Amino acid sequence: MFYDELLFKVLEEAGEGGLSVRKLVLHLQNASSTLFSQTGSIEARGCVDSFIQRHMRCAPPTIERVGRGVYRMVCGREDGRAQRLPF
């Protein structure tokens, strides 16, 4: 999915501190909006919420919660990066 790849990229760039859900929604909304099609904030929030739930509950979690509403990539895991490699 395009949204998953984009959110993984944003979380990797954020580093150890992670990003809040609000900032993830804004990144997703800005990246996916074009002149002729706008992504609404409600749709972007739903995509971010489902992304977080999916990747926190998978067998080896690829993202983790740092604080209230703040998430980051799991450090030291090559599994998460390997799952996203295109073959």
Q: DSSP states of 7-33 as a string?
A: HHHHHHHHGGG-EEHHHHHHHHHHHH-
Give which of 37, 21, 30, 28 is closest to 5, Cα–Cα: 28
Residue 6 CA to residue 18 CA, distance in Å, equals 15
Residue pLDDT, tens place only, 29-87: 888 877 787 778 888 898 899 998 988 888 888 888 888 989 888 876 555 555 554 54
The DSSP letter of residue 63 is: E
Helices assigned H by DSSP within 19-87? 21-32, 41-56, 79-83
**Binning pLDDT at 50, 70 and 90, where does residue 15 land?**
confident
pLDDT the model gives residue 83: 53
Q: What is the mean pLDDT of residues 14-30?
A: 89
CATH code of domain 2-83: 1.10.10
pLDDT the model gives residue 87: 46
